[in-house]
Structure 1
Amino acid sequence: MCCSGFLKIMMFIFNGTIFLAGVAILGVGVWVKVDSGSLLGLLDEVEGAPSGLSQLVNVSYLLMAVGAVLLVIGFLGCCGAVRESRCMLLTFFIIVLIIFLVEVAGAVVLLVFQGLADQLLLGLEDEVRKSIKNEYGNNGSLTSLWDATMEEFQCCGYRNYSDFNGSPFFYTHGGNVYPPTCCNATTTDGICLKKAAELSVMPGCFDKLLQLIEENAVIIAAVALGIAALEIAAMVVSMVLYKNIGTKG
């Protein structure tokens, strides 16, 4: 009886943690969805970008789905332990096992992607710089997206200010002006003159995006593996409870 009570408490701890993790992941997914200034949004505006890489903009849906599933299994585990329902505990075990396998696979993919991020972004360089040269200052959505990205991450162009040479924006201003973020310090009118841009040499968004991907890949993979460890413990406890309930019956 004492052992059974202890196992129930353990189920509450494990599943409570999983439930809270689900809330956090769901919250991050919603935040990513409403964050219109994300660098990943640039992939939608690049012609010829690899289809698999462009789907990264939909990562918010994946996060929300994972968060919702974790909420469900957290509730299911707690309810199964309280009601001593073998059916609910078995269902909980099966769902957690499937999620566990998916999370391990996802963590491996993220770690692999981290190593390939540099090569993938280099492969996009020609198309991205071409889109800037042909569309920046002429295409309203692309121009706004680049402005928001450069402002948020304090970068200039894909590589540097020279990406804007020959763009509609560049010619509209007499071939002497760059976007404001291309200068470390702008004039009172918020104008970045050619000479100031050459002297400031602001980093390109390529470096910022690569850093963002690498840092978040490690964090997400670590979180996924940590949750996986908790899920293993929860599966073990659920099966012990399942067996004890069957013996009691």
Structure 2
Amino acid sequence: MEGDCLSCIKYLMFFFNFFIFLGGAFLLGTGIWVLVDPTGFREVVAANPILFTGVYIVLAMGAMLFLLGFLGCCGAIRENRCLLLFFFILILIIFLAELAAAIVAFIFREHLTREFFTKELKKHYMGSNSSDVFSATWNSIMIAFGCCGVNGPEDFEETINFPTMPNQNVPEACCKRDLHLRQVTTDYREECLQGKESFYNNQGCYTVILNSLEPYVYLAGALTIGVLAIELCAMIFAMCLFRGIQ
């Protein structure tokens, strides 16, 4: 009876990890294809900082799942205690890291308020041509989401390092852009920087981002719980098989 249970766990673990292996290979292949694609899709991704970062996240996830699936399949089908132990340790590290990230996000969620972001923007933002990380990140966000400041263009009236001038009332990142080229045309740029409302985005990024993410909050929470449960089951199966192999 014990041998039948171990055999069942062995093949369940193999098939489970085989699908993880295939998923990791698919994500890894997709990420590599996007980066080396000669047809021009690479330039589209490179022009959008969020998409560019997303490609590397997909590559990292694909590589991690590929390795985990490979270790789990080989460890299960060959009944190799070393591979099973390595698989268990990797899953445990990932499980603890995800759990810690969830706890940290829950603890600090109250600090990520509209007032906090407004204060930081007014204190540290230095303009669209600045190379510092804070300003570059905000510029990328405003361009990607088509928004301006935290609450709106008025945030830049009191920004310490970006004093508004007669010929420049808002950063260039706030200007409306061509939807296909993701660039500001010359005529739009001049009118926008002079503060003409019809040429720059009036909505604040805080509201725009919240509205964009709201439909996915519960889905992300459910997926997180599901992933943690699957990882917990994988650790239990791996350890049962590890202990059962003589």
**TM-score band, normalised by shorter chain:** 0.5 to 0.7
Any idea what SS the aligned residue of 1:203 has? coil
Tell me, which stretches of 5 or more residues in structure 1 are unaligned? 39-56
C-alpha separation in 2, matches of 1:176 and 1:232: 50
Partner of 2:10: 8
- Asked if residue 125 in structure 1 is aligned to residue 118 in structure 2, the reply is yes
**Partner in structure 2 of residue 107 of structure 1:** 102
Q: Which runs of 5+ in 2 are unaligned?
A: 35-44, 178-183
The separation in 2 between residues aligned to 1:79 and 1:177, in whole angstroms, is 55
Deviations 1:79-113 (A, max 9, x none): 01111112322332233233322222222223334
Matches of 2:67 and 2:79 in 1, distance apart? Answer: 17
State the alpha-carbon separation in 2 of the partners of residues 66 and 176 from structure 1: 38
> Which structure's relative contact order is higher, taking Cα pairs within 8 Å and 6+ residues apart?
1
> What's the CA shift string for 1:48-69, capped at 9, x where partnerless?
xxxxxxxxx9x99888666644
Structure 1 pair 87/236, CA: closer, same or farther in 2 (3 Å)?
A: same
Q: TM-score, normalized by length of structure 2?
A: 0.61
User: 2:225 corresponds to which residue?
Assistant: 225
More helix by share: 1
- Residues 108 and 165 of structure 1, relative CA distance in 2, 3 Å threshold: closer
Are residues 1:37 and 2:49 paired? yes
In the alignment, what sits opposite 2:236?
Answer: 236
Give the superposition deviation at 1:168.
5.6
In the alignment, the residues of structure 1 paired with residue 170 and residue 107 of structure 2 have an alpha-carbon distance, to the nearest angstrom, of 43
How many residue pairs get aligned? The number is 217
Work out the percentage of aligned pairs sharing the same amino acid: 35
Superposed CA RMSD in Å reads 4.8
Q: Is the contact between residue 150 and residue 181 of structure 1 (CA under 8 Å) also seen in structure 2? A: no
Please say if 1:116 is aligned against 2:150. no
Aligned residue runs from structure 1 range 60-139, under 5 A = 68-118=63-113, 122-132=115-125, 135-136=126-127, 139=129
* Matches for 1:19-38 after TM superposition, within 5 Å: 19=21, 37-38=49-50
Determine helix, strand or coil for the equivalent of 1:226: helix
> For the structure 1 residues 218 and 110, does the alpha-carbon distance in structure 2 shift closer, same or farther, using more than 3 Å as the test?
farther
